[in-house]
Amino acid sequence: MKLVIKNKVQSLLLFSILALSASQMEAKDKVIVYPNAASPLFSIEVPGNWTMTEAKAADQFFLVSGPAGVQMWFRARPIASEAEFEGAIEAATASGKEWFAESYTNILLEKAIIGERDGMPFVSIKGAGVSKANGESVNFTIAFASMPNGALAQLWSIIPAKNSKGVKYFEKVLESFQPL
C-alpha cells in the first residue's frame, strides 16, 4: 500500500515538474522586430503568452496584447526634420482622439510631456476613458520617440484601469524598446 502511494506521489511530482517546465518554456519573452529583420527600425520584447497582430503594411501599426487586457500598438516611419516630427505628433494626436472616440467615452488627454528617454527626444500623452463596450475605465498612453536611425516611433496603449498587473506589463514592454 505504501509503495502504491509513494508511486502516485512521485508521479504527481514528476507531472507537476513537467507541467511547470512546459509553462515556463511557453512563457519565454519573444522579441519583435519592426517592420522586419531585413530593414529593422526597432525591437521590443513581449511576454510569451501575448498575442500579436501584424501590420498590414510597413508603415502601419502592429498590435501586441496580453491576458491582463493590455493593448499596445507600435509603428515607426522615417522623418526628415524637427518640423516633420512636430507635425506628425499633432496629426497623430488629432486622429487618435477620433480613433479613441469610436470605442470610448469621457476621453481625457492630458497635456503632452516633452523630454528625453534613453537619449532620444520623447513626447508622452497620458489619458483616460470609459469603454463603450463594457463600461470599464481604461488608461491611455500615446508616445513618440525620435530615434537615432532617423525614424519616429509611435506607441499607443490601452490598459484597463482596474488591472494593476497591466501597468507592470506595459512598463516591461516599454523598457524593452530598442532603436535599431
Q: How many domains does the chain have?
A: 1
113 forms beta bridges with 124
* Domain coverage including residue 130: 28-179
What percent of the chain is modeled with pLDDT above 90? 59
Write out the DSSP string of 6-72: HHHHHHHHHHHHHHHHHHHHHT--EEEEES-SSS--EEEEE-TT-EEE--SSTTS-EEEE-TTS-EE
Please report whether residue 19 resides in a domain. no
The string of pLDDT tens digits covering residues 161-170 is 998 888 899 9
Residue 151 forms part of a structural domain: yes
User: Residue 3: inside a domain, yes or no?
Assistant: no
Mean pLDDT of the chain: 85
